[in-house]
């Protein structure tokens, strides 16, 4: 049983806790829709495609194992009936686009960085009623490591200034505008040939890191983006910092599933009147409604595989949500799971999310693999958690920065249909990612 054992002083802030906990093994942060939490010291941390799993023993030492099945999770008889959806101890997982895609298609581009990271956590600090509280497994509460942790968070001693984060050059797109138009035209050829009716085409922006870590940027980016599904996870020389506004799947109490795909984007404007006009323009856009509806239908089909007959519903269609830099068109699909269905199976089956592949999904992924020229890595994968009872919440990894070694990457894209315009789609990519690029480029040497 996981219990609340310590309440931090109200004066202690996110900026003080983060550098302290960052030093701990298995550090993860999730914004979790205004219910933020840090998790540390996982029972095990499993890195998919490297054949390694690290297990925590009772004395907090770690031994290496290689025999555990990948992405194995054990739930409490899968009884989803609690009223609390926030993280209460369980599994935190990052799953890359490519790990999910490789379960369904043969990819020509191999992924170099970790394809998935899974940890089981029973030690975490969560914000409850605007105050940080420490939760641990009951049988660990008297352990010296936990008692020392209490002393550390109680005093939040000054952490030495981290190495400054610097980039060798500004972020550069993989494609010129001409190259993008060529890829766009190939997409149009496939659409007109009847292979798909929507394909999500993305491009990468990248540079080299000369010093520092992405973790240095976490507080500022949270403030800049105000993203409800932001998160950070790290292992060795791999870092992932997401400012995602998009929910993939929410596993609610009483076996209810909810997904809220984003499809349709326009930039914000500083002038309130013009900003409202842009919002209304997006709401009235037949093209964006058509794109959105295609993905709604795809996700209805994905969820229906595991849903009780007659429970798949669309309570919200074409709703406009406004974020720090853009307006998005968002719809919502809900369903009720059949009895006996494992929620992990539902998650892995539905990944990659339809909003970032296209439809039909399999053929869209094959075309993406052909045209984009490289693996997507973390981008368009998912980061989130399952509680021990199977409730949980996973995002779609858009507006996401990935560092692997000295390579820093950001991606942006959009759904293309036969009604799409190349220049408008190219600009939409920039609208989505320009704030991140501007932010990162200020660290260029």
Q: Model confidence over 261-270: pLDDT tens digits?
A: 988 888 899 9
Residue 399: Cβ within 10 Å count: 29
> Could you tell me the pLDDT band of residue 76, with boundaries at 50, 70 and 90?
confident
pLDDT recorded at residue 58 = 47
Residue 328 has pLDDT above 50, yes or no: yes
How many Å apart are CA 252 and CA 244, to the nearest integer? 20
Average pLDDT over residues 152-178: 86
- The structure tokens listed for 69 are 């099945």
Residue with tokens 């054949």: 51
Task: Identify whether the C-beta of residue 90 lies closer than 8 Å to the C-beta of residue 392.
Answer: yes
How many Å apart are CA 194 and CA 359, to the nearest integer? 11
Domain CATH for 136: 3.60.120.10
Tens-digit pLDDT profile for residues 11-67:
888 888 999 999 899 999 999 998 999 999 998 888 887 555 555 654 565 555 555
Catalytic residue annotation:
246, 263
What burial letters (b/e) apply to 310-341, b meaning 16+ CB within 10 Å? Answer: ebbeeeeebebebbebbbbbbbbbbbbbeeeb
Domain count, the chain: 1
How many Å apart are CA 135 and CA 1, to the nearest integer? 10
User: Which helix H or strand E contains 354, and what residues bound it?
Assistant: none
- The structure tokens listed for 262 are 């984003």
pLDDT top residue among 306 and 84: 306
> First and final CA of the chain: distance in angstroms?
50
Task: Give the three-state DSSP class for 175.
Answer: coil
- The structure tokens listed for 380 are 């368009």
Q: Which domain holds residue 400?
A: 1-445
User: CA 138, 144, 145, 147: dihedral to nearest 10 degrees?
Assistant: 70
Whole-structure pTM value:
0.92
What burial letters (b/e) apply to 404-431, b meaning 16+ CB within 10 Å? Answer: beeebbbbbbbbbbeebebeebbebbeb
How many Å apart are CA 384 and CA 77, to the nearest integer? 21
pLDDT top residue among 79 and 373: 373
């Amino acid at each position: 049983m996981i219990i609340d054992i310590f309440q931090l002083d109200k004066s202690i802030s996110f900026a003080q806790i983060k550098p302290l906990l960052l030093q701990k093994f298995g550090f993860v942060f999730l914004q979790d829709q205004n219910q933020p939490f840090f998790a540390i010291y996982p029972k095990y941390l499993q890195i998919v495609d490297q054949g390694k799993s690290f297990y925590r023993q009772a004395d907090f030492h770690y031994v290496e194992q290689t025999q555990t099945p990948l992405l194995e999770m054990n739930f409490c008889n899968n009884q989803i009936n609690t009223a609390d959806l926030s993280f209460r101890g369980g599994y935190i997982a990052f799953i890359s686009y490519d790990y999910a895609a490789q379960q369904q298609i043969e990819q020509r581009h191999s992924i170099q960085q970790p394809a998935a990271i899974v940890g089981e956590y029973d030690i975490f600090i969560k914000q409850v009623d605007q105050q940080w509280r420490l939760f641990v497994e009951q049988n660990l509460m008297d352990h010296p490591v936990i008692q020392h942790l209490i002393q550390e968070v109680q005093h939040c001693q000054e952490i030495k200034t981290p190495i400054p984060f610097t980039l060798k050059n500004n972020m550069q797109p993989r494609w010129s505008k001409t190259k993008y138009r060529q890829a766009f035209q190939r997409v149009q050829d496939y659409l007109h040939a009847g292979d798909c009716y929507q394909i999500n085409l993305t491009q990468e922006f990248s540079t080299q890191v000369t010093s520092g870590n992405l973790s240095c940027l976490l507080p500022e980016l949270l403030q800049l983006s105000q993203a409800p599904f932001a998160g950070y996870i790290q292992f060795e020389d791999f870092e992932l910092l997401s400012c995602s506004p998009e929910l993939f799947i929410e596993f609610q109490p009483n076996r209810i599933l909810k997904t809220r795909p984003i499809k349709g984007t326009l930039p914000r404007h500083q002038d309130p009147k013009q900003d409202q006009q842009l919002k209304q323009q997006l709401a009235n856009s037949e093209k964006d409604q058509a794109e959105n509806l295609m993905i709604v239908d795809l996700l209805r089909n994905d969820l229906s595989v595991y849903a009780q007959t007659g429970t798949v519903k669309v309570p919200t269609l074409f709703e406009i949500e406004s974020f720090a830099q853009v307006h998005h068109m968002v719809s919502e699909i809900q369903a009720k799971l059949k009895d006996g269905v494992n929620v992990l199976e539902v998650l892995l089956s539905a990944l990659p999310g339809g909003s970032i592949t296209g439809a039909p999904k399999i053929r869209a992924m094959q075309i993406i693999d052909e045209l984009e020229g490289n693996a997507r890595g973390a981008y368009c994968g998912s980061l989130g958690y399952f509680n021990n009872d199977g409730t949980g919440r996973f995002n779609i990894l858009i507006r996401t920065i990935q560092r692997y070694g000295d390579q820093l990457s950001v991606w942006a894209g959009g759904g293309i249909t036969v009604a799409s315009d190349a220049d408008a789609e190219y600009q939409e990519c920039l609208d989505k990612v320009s704030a991140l690029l501007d932010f990162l480029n200020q660290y260029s040497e």
